[in-house]
């Protein structure tokens, strides 16, 4: 592995992943491709504008930069997807198809494609959700994630293209804002808490969802990328559990450090959240590539407040 393209590399996960990969493989060997223009271009070089819905864009970048590995993170997330299902279909399904086809034609070494807990649906068992279970999501985002898992598996079995992925829960981070998902509240709330502003939460106080702190999200995808192929019985659909909590649990934990007000006003995102699991059984990830998270709720909250506080210039 030496020349990596990160599609959606300016996004919430992409920006942390790129920093990590550049430390490991060298700045010039990790190329950011994103439809967005960077705010500070000199800080993100090498960057190239990429629209994954345009197949020729992808082929050109693979050729120009001699890419052998893609982390495909370009996507429209759950809440934004429900506001524009046509765009979500184009980017998440046609975009992924383009990536897989380019990967097949250029015989790439590996393609990492994150799935999501959104792949599950209302009929899925909600607690300790098994890895291999009912996948009948009702959001366009979830449908695109199930399609991605199955297409990735198909390209592996039919063409030997090494596609792998974890099902991420809600990801919490301080360095880049989230991109329009149903778990965004768990990031936004820290900004309000640190500024001692009142936060209006768009989920009910007792809605439990699986969540993960960014360092663990990077650990999961890079561990899976490096796992010996012969150990893998799953490929594109690994559950990864780190912590599960409801908004009120998070509020109580943050209030150990700062006092702030919260009001609960659930909106359309409540229905999406209620169709997802509360916790995941991640036995295959633990057995096949030794997955283990480092952060639970208290450790995550402490680290978030310290780092976001520093970034915003706010004293705890
Ligand atoms: N963040 C989470 O909580 C979470 C949870 C589960 C799964 N995931 C998955 O992880 C991956 C990354 O998510 P994220 O949170 O970083 O998302 P994000 O919205 O923060 O970033 C996505 C990036 O993709 C870019 N993009 C959108 N359309 C594009 C196009 N046509 N061509 C190229 N780039 C395009 C956006 O500009 C953005 O920078 C996605 O596959 C997402 O489904 C994220």
Same domain assignment for residues 235 and 257: no
CA 248 – CA 192 distance, rounded (Å): 15
Whole-number Å distance, alpha carbon 200 to ligand 1 midpoint, is: 24
Average pLDDT over residues 248-257: 98
Q: Measuring CA to CA, how many Å separate 286 from each of 45, 217, 312?
A: 35, 15, 36
Confirm whether 284 is domain-assigned: no
**Of 35, 60, 77, best ligand 1 pocket probe by most atoms within 8 Å of the beta carbon:** 77
CA 87 – CA 146 distance, rounded (Å): 17
Same domain assignment for residues 50 and 68: yes
The pLDDT value recorded for residue 3 is 97
The pLDDT value recorded for residue 174 is 97
Average pLDDT over residues 295-302: 98
Same domain assignment for residues 109 and 177: no
Same domain assignment for residues 162 and 246: no
Question: Each residue of 144-183: pLDDT tens digit?
Answer: 999 999 999 999 999 999 999 999 999 999 999 999 999 9
Confirm whether 205 is domain-assigned: yes
Atom in ligand 1 nearest the alpha carbon of residue 13:
16
Same domain assignment for residues 117 and 134: yes
Whole-number Å distance, alpha carbon 129 to ligand 1 midpoint, is: 24
Are the beta carbons of 143 and 119 closer than 8 angstroms? no
Atom in ligand 1 nearest the alpha carbon of residue 118:
6
The pLDDT value recorded for residue 315 is 84
**Confidence label for 76 from pLDDT (cuts 50, 70 and 90):** very high
The pLDDT value recorded for residue 23 is 98
Confirm whether 107 is domain-assigned: yes
Average pLDDT over residues 235-248: 98
Residues lining ligand 1, judged by CB closer than 6 Å? 7-8, 10-14, 34-36, 50-53, 73-75, 77, 91, 95, 114, 116, 168, 170-171, 178-179, 181, 183
CA 71 – CA 221 distance, rounded (Å): 9
Residue 5 φ then ψ, to 5°: -105, 130
**Confidence label for 10 from pLDDT (cuts 50, 70 and 90):** very high
Whole-number Å distance, alpha carbon 255 to ligand 1 midpoint, is: 30
Maximum CA extent, the chain: 56
The pLDDT value recorded for residue 1 is 56
**Which residues participate in catalysis according to the annotation?**
141
**Residue 111 CA to its chain's centroid (Å):** 15
Nearest to 267 by CA among 171, 175, 185: 185
The pLDDT value recorded for residue 316 is 84
Average pLDDT over residues 71-81: 97
Average pLDDT over residues 195-209: 98
pLDDT at 260 > cutoff 90: yes
What total of structural domains would you count in the chain? 2
CA 185 – CA 161 distance, rounded (Å): 36
Classify the C-alpha dihedral 285-291-292-294 as positive or negative. negative
Atom in ligand 1 nearest the alpha carbon of residue 53:
31
Report the percent of the chain where pLDDT is more than 90: 98
Question: Each residue of 54-71: pLDDT tens digit?
Answer: 999 999 999 999 999 999
Same domain assignment for residues 120 and 85: yes
Question: Each residue of 81-102: pLDDT tens digit?
Answer: 999 999 999 999 999 999 999 9
The pLDDT value recorded for residue 28 is 97
Nearest to 95 by CA among 83, 80, 111, 110: 111
Whole-number Å distance, alpha carbon 315 to ligand 1 midpoint, is: 31
Please state whether the predicted TM-score (pTM) of the whole model is above 0.85.
Answer: yes
Q: Which domain holds residue 188?
A: 170-211+242-279+295-312
């Amino acid at each position: 592995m030496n020349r990596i393209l990160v599609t959606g590399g300016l996004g919430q996960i992409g920006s942390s992943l790129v920093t990590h990969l550049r430390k490991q493989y060298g700045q010039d060997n990790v190329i950011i491709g994103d439809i967005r223009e960077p705010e500070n271009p000199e800080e993100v070089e090498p960057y190239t504008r990429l629209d994954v819905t345009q197949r020729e864009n992808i082929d050109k970048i693979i050729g120009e930069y001699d890419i052998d590995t893609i982390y495909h993170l370009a996507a429209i997330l759950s809440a934004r997807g429900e506001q524009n299902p046509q765009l979500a279909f184009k980017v998440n399904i046609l975009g992924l198809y383009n990536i897989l086809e380019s990967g097949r034609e250029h015989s790439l070494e590996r393609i990492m494609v994150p799935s999501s807990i959104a792949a599950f649906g209302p009929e899925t068992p909600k607690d300790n959700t098994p890895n291999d279970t009912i996948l009948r999501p009702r959001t366009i985002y979830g449908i695109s994630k199930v399609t991605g898992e199955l297409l990735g598996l198909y390209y592996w079995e039919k063409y030997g293209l090494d596609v792998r992925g974890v099902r991420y829960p809600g990801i919490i981070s301080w360095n880049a804002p989230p991109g329009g998902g149903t778990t965004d509240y768990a990031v936004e709330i820290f900004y309000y808490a640190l500024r001692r502003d009142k936060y209006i939460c768009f989920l009910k106080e007792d809605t439990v969802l699986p969540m993960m702190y960014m360092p663990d999200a990077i650990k999961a995808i890079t561990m899976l990328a490096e796992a010996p192929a012969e150990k893998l019985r799953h490929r594109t659909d690994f559950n990864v559990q780190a912590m599960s909590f409801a908004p009120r649990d998070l509020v109580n934990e943050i209030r150990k450090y700062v006092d702030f007000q919260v009001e609960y006003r659930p909106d359309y995102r409540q229905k999406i959240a209620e169709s997802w699991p509360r916790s995941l059984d991640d036995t295959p990830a633990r057995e096949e590539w030794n997955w283990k998270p480092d952060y639970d709720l208290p450790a995550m909250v402490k680290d978030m407040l310290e780092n976001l506080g520093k970034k915003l210039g706010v004293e705890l």
